[in-house]
Amino acid sequence: MDPLKFVVVDLETTGNSPKRGERIIQLSAVTIENGKITDQYTSFVSPGKPIPAFIEELTGINDEMVQDAPAFDEIAPVVHKILEGAVFVAHNVNFDLSFLQAEFEESGYVPFDGPSVDTVELAKVAFPSADSFKLSELSSTLDVSHVRPHQADSDAYVTAEILLYFIDTLNGLPLVTLEKLRKLSDHLKSDLYLIFEQILHDKYERIEDLPEGLEVHRGLAIRKKGSLKISTGKADEGEGIEELLKRTVPHYERRGAQLDMMESITDAFHLSKNMVIEAGTGVGKSLGYLWPSLDFAIRKGERVVISTYTIQLQEQLLQQEIKRLEAIAPFPFKTVLLKGKNHYINLFKFEQSLREDEAQYDAALTKMQILVWLTRTETGDMSELNLSSGGQLFWNRLKQDGWHLPHHKDPWVSKDFYLSARKEALEADLIITNHSMLLTDVKMEKKMLPDFNYLVIDEAHHLEKAARQHLGIMMDYPSIKFTVSQLGSLDHHQLYKRLDELLANHSVSMELHPFEMDRLITDFYRELEEAFTVLASTFYKQSKKRSGVNKIQWRLTEDVKKSRQWMPVRMIIERVVSHMKTIEGQFRKVLDTVKEKKIKLSDPEKAFIEEFFSFLLDWNELYSGLSTLFLRALDEYVIWLEGDTRSLPNSLTIQGQPVTVSDQLRDEVFVKKESVILTSATLTVSDSFDFFLQEIGLKGAGTLRLPSPFDYREATRLFIPSDVPEIQQVTNEEYIESISSHLIGVAQATKGRMLILFTSYDMLRKTYELMKDSGILEEYVLMAQGITSGSRTRLTKNFQRFDKAILFGTSSFWEGVDIPGEDLSCLAMVRLPFSPPDEPVTQAKAEILKAAGKNAFSALSLPEAIIRFKQGIGRLIRRSSDRGIIIVYDRRIISTRYGKAFLESIPDMPVQEGDLFELIDQIEDWL
């Protein structure tokens, strides 16, 4: 078999669509033969039209540069010759290939008719855990030099290097994996099968050993599990932490507050008491609790559980902070990261899914990603994978949900990642988990976490919210539709049809005749559709009361549930729930029959029974959610609907949460543990922990405040503009216009490097549009949450890449965004972060406080807003060398009596008032 010749092409163009007359302005083609780059051809191309400003900004290519360049028809014969007998390769191949074909046709040449390979698709297969499949992100991760992004010569060369890197990566995979990848590659969009055929042809020519660290079980190559035991250099175990830090940390600087925190936690563990610690930015909070937790765990033989708010923070602790702990500790120790079971893959279900003829693109691609990932993962945790949304839906079929049949019948049970993680946890000194799993475990009879008595809760300001969400119920229309549609009917080859065939093969019958069951399922689908139509229509009528607002919330009080308008909803939901109960009852009985009769099932049938069992768990959760939210009286719960009136019922979400969780947290967490440590950078309001302690129901705990060691008086200035209107005295539109023009002036003075925080998405969008449309900030990159594509992490990374960047954020951007150094020099807050008074949970809590004779504003709204404000302030100064300016546009911070509480709760810093010109003078002097 002759080696493949690849030609890697990249084009820069005047726009996105050749059909709209857009043209090529630069072309580069890199030739690869015998696995090596042998040539590169590059040319500017005259487009015969002006280059748009945004293309010039993106590529750095202007009209002058293409003025004397050849037209495409002049270089067409050269390009045609280069492509002869080659595989056409590009990063996002459809774009480059369709453009080139259009230009060939325009020039009177036959379009290229050879195979093509998309390096985006290749990256997804060969590097399934990449954070991003963008060219710039991949080159940075793989350490490939990318000199001029968005210029064709640089992009094409980098794409060629990445192609060779990934072919080399695939070459290192075992034969069993490659054979499966080759078969699945028939269903991809580009011709990757050619690469697999070439690799397999070369492998069949020689005998190879299995790569080290891998094993093959039932035809699947997986990574052997390594021990998580961590050993460190021997040292004197009598050394104190300060001596260890001095000896192991280069350029060690003593942090008094961190040492105080360590001492306080050690005392709390030894005295079996609860402790609440606010540790400001720069204290070194993570190490401040990790060291005493580990030291206590080793000395006392007690495991300590560390819980943080999100799975990302959990990963960060393991990958960064635990590594630092390894360097310090003079003894071996073991840390395990534990998540909920459906984060782990069920290998038996996956093995059987590979036997299906898979024509569906997302499923085929996801199977390929998993095959490669299994040769690398030691955890089996799906969050390591970067799956498409279709891939995540397919993952639902493969997730670990426990077993219906005796689990020793699962031929993969000895390799199961979830059981392995639990076993590792039994031997661990430290277990890292998240609030969600911690609270799930509290509710479950069969615990996932092994017994423990010592607990550290990081990001503790989120505990109350996490507990409310976790003890609550949330469901949305698309998820409900997706869950129930998996059942199908006898006309569709989905779960019910497959179950019916399995039962017929083994002469097992259901109570209901298959056709009666089919009619029941069809009736259920019709009733469910009608239920959501009625619900959406009732909800839509509420929106008429709020003109001009598309996204609305509607609280379902007990009065609403008793009203005449609610009766049709209640009646149809009762029918839906009744159908669901009957359908589930029938399926449960038949699954139990299959189990009790000990029918001899084939492996595909066993895997299918487990898949059906998983489906019934999801079905039951849906059934109990609908009946709880719509049909039961829930005095202690707040229930609400939310949605966008432009896309009902698809945007409809129904939620229910307990109004308070203090009793549950006290009874299930604090009372049952010997010692609980709660810590965060923001727990106090005006130097007091009272609000936080009351929200979580904790009494009798010790408290400790450790302010940030940073010198905010030197590092920061807080400005309050005097030339913007008071929020309450103007319309929303007038306020946004005033803020936007002010922000434009500030952005020019700070040269971007600015984060603007909003409390409402609507205000963010309007401000972003006004600033963008002004035309004044053309040389600035404006990025906005929910408008510019990408997750919070992606937006933050992109913000750091550009010199003149402005980032607009709401909700999640008030905290957890870490932009140290000069990348962020200015933080602007458009409003003080009060929750809207009609927000359902705020409203319900306020009613309880009023009933108890308390002032809901001072007891709830104000302290909540202050903690959020402190979080926002914390975005600016992340290191001792950082400097920056904070602008608070909301004049209530100085014009109201309560405004003082905001300023008292943040680190001491100079506060100044002034108009835009004074502010700009100050910025220019100071920055």
For residue 592, the tally of other CB atoms under 10 A from its CB is 11
Cβ neighbours for 791, distance < 8 A, ≥ 6 positions apart: none
As given in the structure block, the two tokens for residue 439 are 């609270």
User: How would you class 359 by CB atoms within 10 Å of its CB: exposed for 0-12, middle for 13-18, buried for 19 or more?
Assistant: exposed
pLDDT in tens, 363-387: 999 999 999 999 999 899 988 899 9
Cβ neighbours for 274, distance < 8 A, ≥ 6 positions apart: 268, 670, 675, 676, 677, 678, 698, 700, 701, 702
- pLDDT for the residue 546: 62
β-strand pairing of 702-706 with 275-279: parallel
pLDDT confidence of 443, banded at 50, 70, 90?
confident
Percentage of residues of the chain with pLDDT beyond 90: 64
- pLDDT for the residue 547: 58
* Distance set, CA 282 to CA 110, 684, 710, 816, 879 (Å): 64, 17, 7, 14, 7
- pLDDT for the residue 148: 81
Using CA atoms, how far apart are residues 889 and 743, in angstroms rounded to an integer? 10
Q: What is the DSSP letter of 113?
A: -
Radius of gyration for the chain, computed over Cα atoms and rounded to the nearest angstrom? 31
Of the candidates 412, 448, 419, the residue with the CA atom closest to the CA atom of residue 610: 412
- In the numeric block, the tokens 């400003």 are attached to 53
As given in the structure block, the two tokens for residue 648 are 């009902």
At 827, phi and psi to the nearest 5? -120, 120
Helices and strands (H, E) in the chain, number of each type: 38, 26
> 197 and 87 in contact (C-beta within 8 Å)?
no
Of the candidates 319, 320, 308, 373, the residue with the CA atom closest to the CA atom of residue 344: 373
Does the pLDDT value for residue 751 go beyond 90? no
* Distance set, CA 18 to CA 98, 102, 121, 601, 602 (Å): 8, 7, 23, 56, 54
Q: What residues form the annotated binding site for ATP?
A: 279-286
- pLDDT for the residue 922: 82
At 230, phi and psi to the nearest 5? -115, 125
At 430, phi and psi to the nearest 5? -120, 135
pLDDT in tens, 537-565: 998 887 666 655 678 889 998 889 889 99
- pLDDT for the residue 82: 96
Cβ neighbours for 671, distance < 8 A, ≥ 6 positions apart: none
pLDDT confidence of 844, banded at 50, 70, 90?
very high
Does the pLDDT value for residue 92 go beyond 80? yes
Least confident residue range of 316-325, 442-451, 552-561: 442-451
Does the pLDDT value for residue 523 go beyond 50? yes
Averaged pLDDT of the chain: 90
Residue 298 belongs to what H/E stretch? helix 285-300
pLDDT in tens, 892-907: 999 999 999 999 999 9
Helix (H, G, I), strand (E, B) or coil at 86: coil
Helix (H, G, I), strand (E, B) or coil at 207: coil
**DSSP secondary structure string, 707-776?**
---S-HHHHEEEEEESSS--GGGS-HHHHHHHHHHHHHHHHHHHTS-EEEE-S-HHHHHHHHHHHHHTST
Does the pLDDT value for residue 234 go beyond 70? no
β-strand pairing of 716-721 with 884-888: parallel
At 802, phi and psi to the nearest 5? -100, 145
Q: Please give the domain boundaries of the chain with CATH numbers for all domains.
A: 6-171 (3.30.420.10), 474-658 (no CATH), 712-926 (3.40.50.300)
Q: What residues form the annotated binding site?
A: 279-286
As given in the structure block, the two tokens for residue 235 are 């040292």
pLDDT confidence of 646, banded at 50, 70, 90?
confident
Least confident residue range of 263-277, 462-476, 806-820, 860-874: 806-820
Rounded to 5°, angle at Cα 359 from 353 and 365: 70
Does the pLDDT value for residue 227 go beyond 60? no
pLDDT confidence of 55, banded at 50, 70, 90?
confident
pLDDT confidence of 235, banded at 50, 70, 90?
very low
For residue 551, the tally of other CB atoms under 10 A from its CB is 14
Question: Cis peptide before 649, with omega less than 30 degrees from 0?
Answer: yes
> 280 and 681 in contact (C-beta within 8 Å)?
yes
